[in-house]
Chains A and B, each alone.
Chain A
Amino acid sequence: MSVSLTIDGKAVTAEAGAPLIDVAADNGVYIPSLCYMRGKPCLGTCRVCSVKINGHVATACTVKVADGMHVSVSDPEVADMRKALVEANFSEGNHNCPSCEKSGRCELQAVGYELEIVVSRFTYQFPERSREDAAQYLFLERDRCIFCQRCVEFVRDAQTGQKIFSIRGRGTTAQIELDVDLANKMTPAEAARAADLCPVGAIIEKGLGYNDPMGQRKFDVKSLRERVLEGEQL
């Protein structure tokens, strides 16, 4: 069934039940996100895709389009909320782009550029976080983790279906754990997929980094915005 809605004043028709964030992208409206992956179940963790729907703030990844919705993405108040949420993610971890292997391929960095973030309005927490480096192909650099849950929800041991990444603790001290035994059963290709899935440089392939020179990195070649608008699964 087809529904009619407006996004930033533009009339749009879409299939009922489609995620708003996809419908927006298909109609040329970029809504940033750090956790959403097109085609996968929404995680609803980063909240960066917040928009106004009939005046109320909601996340575009969790909302399914419905008839008569008036969606505002460009509304300055909610645009600043999105920016604040990205800044909050920068303030919580230790993000040093110039020395990071993921630079140029990092979604947090790319969204930061898209939203023209210069500095976080939140006090930088400079947390002390440990690193997990015992696995063969991967290391887990928790300094850069934004707790999006992609790895926890979407990476599984091929044979048993068990979680390879999991959460430990709760709240501000919660962290991602890597099951080293299961990680060591991953093929290099599976490990690479897990690293690619990570929106930041928290899951990194060992022995690989800085391969592409500046100007030729993933988001140098084509921006995150362009990729989202083309419907690419990041």
Chain B
Amino acid sequence: MTNATTAIVERYGSDRTRLMDMLWDVQRDHGYLPQDALEDLASALSISANDVLETASFYHFFQTKPFGRHAIYLCDSVMGRNRGHASIRATLETETGTAFGSASALFGLDDTNCIGLSDQEPAMMVDDVVFTKLTPNRVRDIIKALKLGTPAEQIANPGGHARSSRSYVESMVDCNIHQDGPVFFKPGIDYRAVLESCLALTPDEVIVSVTESNIRGRGGAGFPTGLKWRLARDAAGAEKHIICNADEGEPGTFKDRVLLTASPMDVLLGMVISGFGVGSRSGIIYLRAEYWYLKDYLEAQLASMRADGLLGQNILGTDFSFDIRIQMGAGAYVCGDETALIESCEGKRGTPRVKPPFPIQTGYLGQPTVVNNVETFASVTRILEMGAGWFAALGTDASSGTRLLSVSGDCDRPGIYEIEWGTTLNDVLALVGATNPKAVQISGPSGECVSVAQDGARKLCHSDLACNGSFMIFDHSRDLLEVARQFTHFFVDESCGICTPCRAGGVAMLGKIDRVIAGRACQEDLDACQSWGQLMHRTSRCGLGTTAAKPILTTLQKFPELYAAKLQELGHGLRPSFDMEEAVSHYDEIVRAIETEAAQ
């Protein structure tokens, strides 16, 4: 075994559950994961090499073949495609002399799904940094500089800001906070005072406070946060864990990135409060690999919290101890599912677990675990600062507080907006300067496509449009069938493949929408979409599979005319998808081959 691999394994205490970190370190040393390094890891951890590969091959950003000195991932999202992605892709191929999906000595190129920059597309990741609002000229400059040996980080951060600083993050990405509200991005919070007053309460009182605020989890499912904490507190287990889900993978959402940039302390303190309430000593932030550029900045925040006594042993001189580590993901949307995320934290493939048991009973390392969204933890800090009643008075009866919207697409001011629950769709569209909107994709591909004409008066709240924060606007020039196709493709791309309906159903639905777009579908195909969509929705194992048919089903519901215009009648009893020419073409070829052979 090489010394380097030994050092990596020892860095993580030879703990197999830290395999993700080990793989990242190996990839950092070599630019990819060489087979012999995987075998070294396997033998050091007493698992088979294929078992290491089982984890490594699951994640998009782990490369098992050489991937050039610079790994370039261009974001291939609907928002990117609506902002000139195609010309950027072509320019990258020309300038690097490398095709997408392959690598040269200097460059590895690949597509990747939404990287959380929908308000500043086209965007790409290069090594650990990102470049936004790309133009072909900018791409030429970047590739030229890389060829001259300039590190990507230096190109992205010409001011030379320290990686641990907010200026470093903001040298690459804009926060674009266009409207703040009562809850988020408040300057001047006295975090020490908030935590002191929290620790003066009993853990039960903290949970009561969170419960009385009526806050629901901001990840999308809307589970009451107080109840989740209560269940975890009451669950049997010597150790308990608090996990912050910062795997912000839903296309079109980027508010967690902005919260972690502009108000990281709100989030981190919320985790500490949760740890105190639930009775946990250990917190994990699961940070998606697309946000590598935030890691050192967040580590610096954690270090300063420890220095200030807000984190670590005996917090604020009490007997409460709690610490937080950052777990990097490696490119898998399904890890946004809390049980897949836990599997990933344990160094495995991000396969959603069979439920029950739920994480509050059997979570990380088999122990009771609370998984909450970034925005939920940030809200908790404000709830403890301002009081449960203050928070509960915001929003609607069933949805208290405010919501951060990540607005992108066809409008004048894409970015972050804090709105109170109960705001109508039309109000938001006016606020962001959407002048010609036709449709809004609410909550990303896993949500629903709504029609502005039909749904403009509907309210964003748990009982009506339960929005997870993603708000993508499409004007009348956009092809919604193409959007539905791309979203369906996204789910096929991101399916873990473990259950039949999601794995096979996704491919089947993609085949149908391709057929519609090609003008070769008939009513029977749309009927099949409805029926197969229901099958996926009702029998899939996790949220990915249960929602993967929604891009097609919700556009079909709101814009049936778009589908109807593409349909064909059954002609001569044949389905329009049956291509007679193509079906018999091989026959002619074969006959010709036989005749040629006979003549020789």
Q: Which residues of A contact B (CB under 8 A)?
A: 42-48, 50, 57, 59, 62, 64, 81, 84-85, 88-89, 91-92, 121-123, 125, 146-147, 149, 157, 160, 162-164, 166-174, 177, 179, 182
Contacts and interface: CB of A to CB of B under 8 A. Distances in A.
Given A45-B500, A84-B535, 10 more contacts: A45-B499, A47-B499, A48-B500, A50-B538, A125-B507, A163-B47, A164-B48, A166-B51, A168-B50, A182-B48
Nearest to B48: A162
Nearest to B56: A168
A171 B46 contact: no
Nearest to A173: B497
A168 B53 contact: yes
Contacts of B511: 123
Interface of B: 46-51, 53-54, 57-58, 332, 349, 354-356, 492-501, 503-508, 511, 528, 531-532, 535, 538-541
21 contacts: A47-B539, A81-B539, A84-B531, A88-B501, A88-B508, A92-B507, A121-B528, A122-B508, A147-B498, A162-B47, A162-B48, A163-B47, A163-B54, A166-B53, A170-B349, A170-B497, A171-B494, A171-B495, A171-B496, A172-B507, A177-B53
Contacts of A43: 354
Contact of B501 (A42, A85, A164, A177): A85
A174 B497 contact: yes
B528 A170 contact: no
Contacts of B354: 42-44, 62
Given A166-B51, A170-B332, A47 B540 contact: yes
B532 to A, nearest CB: 8
Contacts of B58: 167, 169-170
Contacts of B349: 167, 170
A163 B48 contact: yes
Nearest to A164: B48
A45 B353 CA distance: 10
A89 B539 contact: no
B539 A59 contact: yes
Contact of B500 (A46, A62, A164, A179): A46
Nearest to B498: A45
A44 B351 CA distance: 11
Given A167-B54, A171-B497, A47 B504 contact: no
B68 to A, nearest CB: 21
Contact of A47 (B355, B493, B501, B508): B501
B523 to A, nearest CB: 16
A162 B46 contact: yes
A46 B494 CA distance: 18
A168 B53 CA distance: 7
Contacts of A167: 54, 57-58, 349
A46 B499 contact: yes
A172 B51 contact: no
B499 A170 contact: no
Most A CB contacts (10 A, CB to CB) among B356, B506, B535 go to B535
B535 A171 contact: no
A92 B332 CA distance: 23
B351 to A, nearest CB: 9
A88 B500 contact: yes
Contacts of B501: 47, 85, 88
A168 B528 contact: no
Contacts of A182: 48
Contacts of A81: 535, 538-539
A230 B48 CA distance: 38
Most B CB contacts (10 A, CB to CB) among A42, A57, A166 go to A166
A133 B528 CA distance: 39
